[in-house]
Structure 1
């Protein structure tokens, strides 16, 4: 796979390093000539220049690129790069780094962004996912189609425990894609029985996520056992 990474800062360099280690062809754009030749990024092709300029992007061969990662520390630059990659070069997939959470609403299909990655939001989500048992937490937004990846940790004594996956009335536009149980990922089947402390991962639409949250909230409020008879 051919990947263009725009921005050779800490984030961009880390992404490029991982991609190189996985055997991908990596092209790195940056405006600073001194970044060339980093020992940890050997094997990458370097383009020095402003990636917001069409001439610079052409030099990097974006028309033959599979993925563009706009990873600079400037949200405006990341939006422009994503838009040019999609509209001018037809790049199939774009990933945009969101530096300021207030700008996250801009990173959508209108600006050519398929996946918006907000480090502050992701860190917050991971913290919440770790401590907020019993709440649906959004981990990642996929702008194409408005889908998102969410997680839910099943509380102990929750009514859904001991229920097979196929018997749970999941909302429309919600897909259970994985179960993390005792640190081991499980690909869910209809016969799998849910247990307390299971971490459930879903891909859903925005409406489906809201319905999923409502479903778990309603279920959690149901009495776990019949009240004792009064005499």
Structure 2
């Protein structure tokens, strides 16, 4: 689903029509995620601003998993906690990691296939391209408007001379991965026979580089240089 216009009205309409329990937010800067959490925490899913959950400054019953990667141990912890009865209100698992390990995705899939009532999962990623199709099929996906995506993509460049500075700041380096995935998405839709193999080779290269970056198995500078060169050859 593309979120455009008034985000609050979008969620009001969405939850009035029934809602869901597992969500993926793609390319969100934080505003959409925070508002979604408010609706999920609300006792009647309307962000009424009157119930105890709405009036609380924090998200009651929420567990937050942030960091560079979500590992199998984290996914098993989520699975165990999701199967426990909530003391009161909604139980929300907020996952905001740069990389979801394949075995962690498998465990998450098992967890969200038959969720307990009032148990919710909110995953925030730069792109849905790194998720397995079975997991993706179980998630309600929210994306930014196409206008926002195009504006962001049009400004993005990855130059070798910028790599040294980027490698010193992991937050900025992580932003590179987010922007590349936003850049890749429309490209995939318009591939022709001649360019498909070249682009798919880049995609495989990219996800391997991303995996190694978040696992910290190689230096960020070397990985980003490799990425810049790979991207250059298909542009």
TM-score over 0.5 for the alignment? Answer: no
TM-score, with structure 2 as normaliser: 0.29
Q: Going by fraction, where is strand more abundant, 1 or 2?
A: 1
Q: Which is bigger in relative contact order (C-alpha 8 A, separation at least 6)?
A: 2
The TM-score normalised by the length of structure 1 is 0.29
The structure whose Rg is larger is: 1
Q: Which has the higher helix share?
A: 2
